[in-house]
A = this chain, B = another copy of it.
């Protein structure tokens, strides 16, 4: 495998830092190639602005066409272009981050906002009344896989089917489906470590063992069975799931997973 690890924690000696280091050593020891985007260490610029698109920025700034023009002209800033190149190099992408306010830290959201430009990650393929682009199962990153490795402060029950925070699979759906599956990545079930603020040494050892096992089975793990956009499951142009296709008991986000 060629694995890109995108890491988002300010402290190298943190739990997240340890899990990232473990991923690097485990994958390299198994003979895989690994590259790391350690966003804090890189002093990653988190915020989209006109400078990202240089001479291709429209005035007034319109993010969609500006990012598409800069991308197509090969004129994105070197930091963003390097991340797009890493994504194209990789066959597997691991995201390591703590869940802050039920989603990714700002620095990682800023990586998405800046790296996932128009024409690279969205706005790919024909958009008209009969077809709304190549996404959700197609797209630039098709054929690659991704997995989230997430630390969570609270206990697992709070994130269960009836838990007060909402089910973890629903909290992660906008990332899994909306960010990763959108440009074509297949998404593996996440590795979630609960109770991260109060982890004992023994619990860490168990978690490390479980994470190693997940890392060594990335190539054989079945992805989440998200529905592909352009293969008959959705009405056009509404992109609503056709009646009768849902698996029993599936609702909301769950409609978009095959039975």
Interface residues of A (CB under 8 A from B): 10-14, 40, 46-50, 60-64, 100-107, 109-110, 112-113, 116, 136, 153, 155, 157-158, 160-167, 170-171, 173-174, 177-179, 182, 197, 229, 234, 237-241, 251-256
11 more A-B contacts (CB under 8 A) besides A64-B197, A106-B109, A107-B110? A46-B107, A48-B105, A48-B106, A100-B113, A101-B116, A101-B174, A102-B174, A106-B107, A158-B238, A164-B240, A164-B241
Q: How far is the CA of A86 from the CA of B104 in the complex (A)?
A: 25
Is the beta-carbon distance between B163 and A238 smaller than 8 angstroms? yes
With beta carbons under 8 angstroms apart, the residue of B110, B161, B163, B174 that contacts A106 is B110
Is the beta-carbon distance between A252 and B255 smaller than 8 angstroms? no
Chain B neighbourhood of A240, CB < 8 A: 157, 160, 162-164
Is the beta-carbon distance between A166 and B174 smaller than 8 angstroms? yes
Chain B neighbourhood of A110, CB < 8 A: 46-47, 106-107, 110
Residue of B nearest to A197 (CB): B64
Is the beta-carbon distance between A60 and B11 smaller than 8 angstroms? yes
Q: How far is the CA of A103 from the CA of B105 in the complex (A)?
A: 12
Chain B neighbourhood of A252, CB < 8 A: 161, 166-167, 170, 251-254
Number of chain copies forming the complex: 2
Q: How far is the CA of A56 from the CA of B172 in the complex (A)?
A: 32
With beta carbons under 8 angstroms apart, the residue of B106, B153, B251 that contacts A113 is B106
Is the beta-carbon distance between B106 and A256 smaller than 8 angstroms? no
Q: How far is the CA of A238 from the CA of B154 in the complex (A)?
A: 10
Q: How far is the CA of A224 from the CA of B161 in the complex (A)?
A: 21
Q: How far is the CA of A217 from the CA of B30 in the complex (A)?
A: 61
Chain B neighbourhood of A155, CB < 8 A: 237-238
A101 and B105 in contact (CB under 8 A), knowing A157-B238, A239-B164, A255-B162? Answer: no
With beta carbons under 8 angstroms apart, the residue of B60, B163, B229 that contacts A164 is B229
Chain B neighbourhood of A62, CB < 8 A: 11, 14
Q: How far is the CA of A167 from the CA of B12 in the complex (A)?
A: 38
Is the beta-carbon distance between B60 and A13 smaller than 8 angstroms? yes
Residue of B nearest to A229 (CB): B164
Q: How far is the CA of A174 from the CA of B103 in the complex (A)?
A: 8
Residue of B nearest to A178 (CB): B102
Is the beta-carbon distance between B103 and A109 smaller than 8 angstroms? yes
Q: How far is the CA of A171 from the CA of B167 in the complex (A)?
A: 13
A49 and B40 in contact (CB under 8 A), knowing A241-B162, A252-B254, A255-B162? Answer: yes
